[in-house]
Structure 1
């Protein structure tokens, strides 16, 4: 396992500028190597979808809205660790309109307990921008308080490490927001490789709006819901592009950006 620091789609809609920055020093990267597991909580059996509890992991996951809370949420994203403590991960097809998209971590029942965050930069693979390659349906974005404040999102809710090179049958937990629900759902199950570049999971009820949901392996982000069929055409089966070198490079760029 490598652990490094660094539309509005229905289920599962990305043209973006990219910026390149020098990679952080080894010392800075080392600070983000360890996996910060959320507090233990009762969770449903494998393959069962239920409402996610309000714990540390769920608070790092949020809904993406069109303009504000009254605009409706259409995708999911999660906070990941970064040098400037301001990076989220989602599916590339969720970033069609970055200028009007806002992120609400820990969103529940019409409230945003950690505020709304605007996107200040997006990091999408050229193969997605040019041809929407499902193998690159992974993206990162930097965020800042929508109210113009100077807070850092990772200081508010923490962040997930990012990992690659997971086994074919790794077990992951998914936390995401169906567009018709006002609370997040959680499901964990063992995955399988649909292809060399796509991972599959059987979890019911992950319907429209769950695109971009983090796939968490032992508390670290190992993928996002998206990829093949934009994440899947039925709510019982979902997909994620395998996190590879391209996704890792995007993460590095976002993680050391000035935001």
Structure 2
């Protein structure tokens, strides 16, 4: 019998995770000639990046997320496909662990309380809206931004930006980071080329030198289905509007 056509790597892994965990992952490997991500060292800014996992910090991993500045100090940004899909709806039991490393949870584990996605993602899984804002509850009477700070959201900054991208591959207990320059994939999607961004790195923030988050791994092909290339929805007015909805 002839083999069935292979599904795109990220889509296939998403289906497997959805069935096993009711969670979603991503994939992005290296390619010849592309830089490869390195293990990230802890830093005050890096500690704003963490794992989204099921129920506990050591539970099954879904994706990566990061803290963004908000009026209430309780907001994360990630990819929408990490937290919601048309087939399985909003995911339950997610927790966020900033600065996670080798089983160590220096800032605790924060429960997810609410998820905000664009209606066009919720009803159509439209890759043009593969961004989500996630509200987390208080821990020990403190908001998460009081503990680790938050990166400002950067919208309307265009392409060709130098960014640092930190994410958590599922197979590792340490984050990886790559310093790269973005380029346009389309008028509404951007990309970067760097190896090592395997399952679990969807939602990884693209952070500029001034600390602004200008993208997250997701969007086109749910973040990419070929080794060494990752994508993001361009952070433009669509994302600004979604942020406003999440914070009002």
CA RMSD of aligned residues (A): 1.5
* 1:64 and 2:64 are equivalent in the alignment: no
Alignment-derived partner of residue 84 in structure 1: 72
Whole-angstrom distance in 2 between the partners of 1:131 and 1:180: 30
C-alpha spacing 1:246/1:167, structure 2 compared with 1 (3 Å): closer
* 1:222 and 2:214 are equivalent in the alignment: yes
Shift of 1:70: 3.2
* 1:167 and 2:158 are equivalent in the alignment: yes
5+ unaligned residues in a row in structure 2: which ranges?
1-17, 28-33, 85-89
TM-score by length of 2: 0.83
* 1:112 and 2:105 are equivalent in the alignment: yes
Q: Which of 239, 242, 248 pairs up with 2:231?
A: 239
Contact 2:50–2:99 (CA<8 Å) still a contact in 1? yes
Residues 113-192 of structure 1: matches in 2 within 5 Å? 113-145=106-138, 149-192=140-183
Whole-angstrom distance in 2 between the partners of 1:159 and 1:81: 4
1:246 is paired with a residue whose SS is helix
1:154 is paired with a residue whose SS is helix
TM-score by length of 1: 0.79
Shift of 1:55: 0.2
5+ unaligned residues in a row in structure 1: which ranges?
1-6, 13-45
Shift of 1:126: 0.5
Whole-angstrom distance in 2 between the partners of 1:161 and 1:133: 25
Contact 2:36–2:196 (CA<8 Å) still a contact in 1? no
Whole-angstrom distance in 2 between the partners of 1:9 and 1:139: 13
Contact 1:191–1:201 (CA<8 Å) still a contact in 2? yes
